Structure 1
Amino acid sequence: MLDIFWKSHNPYRSDGQGPDIGSQYRAAIFYNSDEQREQAEESKAALEKSKAQTVATMILPAKEFWPAEDYHQQYHEKKGMVPACPAY
């Protein structure tokens, strides 16, 4: 899953993705256990080493989760669109 995640966004940008700019669009990995944190940190370090570039994607503890509003659920499917995600 981490490999797909790293390929599905630009991990080097700290201010958003694509045309979406701002802190609400920054990339992050949220973990629920020490094992998940360690896996995320190891994969981030491996990516940085392989590209010799600092990864901006944050690794943070998971907190309270709020599902998106109904109109955001399955958005592309409802609108008949193809997601912009290159790993889709």
Structure 2
Amino acid sequence: MATEIATLGGGCFWCLEAVYQELKGVQHVESGYTGGQIPNPTYEAVCAGTTGHAEVVRLTFDPQEVSYREILEIFFTIHDPTTLNRQGNDVGTQYRSVIYYHSPEQQSVAKQVIAEMANVWDAPIVTELKPAETYYKAEDFHQNYFRQNPLQGYCAFVVAPKVAKFRQMFKDKLNSPR
């Protein structure tokens, strides 16, 4: 079975990770950093905004079960692609909306989806579209963060509503019944 990789940044990686872990066809989700200038960045350095990295998730998925297009349609549903370097109270370039494509086909699909989403949002889409860059896995405590910390304040008030929205809008795409 051939798998593909998708790398997406849409604010805090905990939000994207929590949603994509529940998507049918996604085999693995990992939080990390990409798009910056220094090797092996730490969370503290990325949060300081001095490395140029974005918080991202890297998905390994089976394109026979879920298409790259579907992954992007969900991406544009669970974050605001019209706010530059910001998602809610999370402000800084590390929270930018960005799609890192891994092939010319992914680039083409992403361009199509961005163009289609321009008709959905009231403000211009500021999502960046860039070729995949060197990726660094985030520290272990960031992995599976929402699953391990559902009652933590940020998780309860920011992540949980995004997961609930995903579950409601994409019931047929859940990897297990809820």
TM-score, structure 1 as length reference: 0.88
Specify the alignment match of 2:166 in structure 1: 87
Unaligned runs of 5+ residues in structure 2 are 1-70, 168-178
Structure 2 equivalent of residue 5 of structure 1: 75
Query: Residues 8-23 of structure 1 correspond to what in structure 2 (within 5 A)?
Result: 8-23=78-93
SS of corresponding position for 2:133:
coil
Give the paired residue count: 88
The aligned amino acid for 2:88 is G
Q: 1:1-80, aligned counterparts within 5 Å?
A: 1-51=71-121, 53-80=123-150
What amino acid is the match of 2:141? Y
Render the CA deviation track for 1:7-42: whole Å, top value 9, x for unaligned: 010010112101100100011111011110010011
Q: 1:49 to 1:30 in 2, by over 3 A?
A: same
CA distances 1:31-59 after superposition (whole Å, capped 9, x unpaired): 01111001001100111134464201111
Moved over 6 A (4+): none
| Greater strand content | 2
Give the whole-Å Cα distance in 1 for the aligned partners of 2:78 and 2:100: 16
Q: CA RMSD in A?
A: 1.6
Identity of aligned residues (%): 33
2:13 corresponding residue in structure 1: none
1:63 positional shift: 1.0
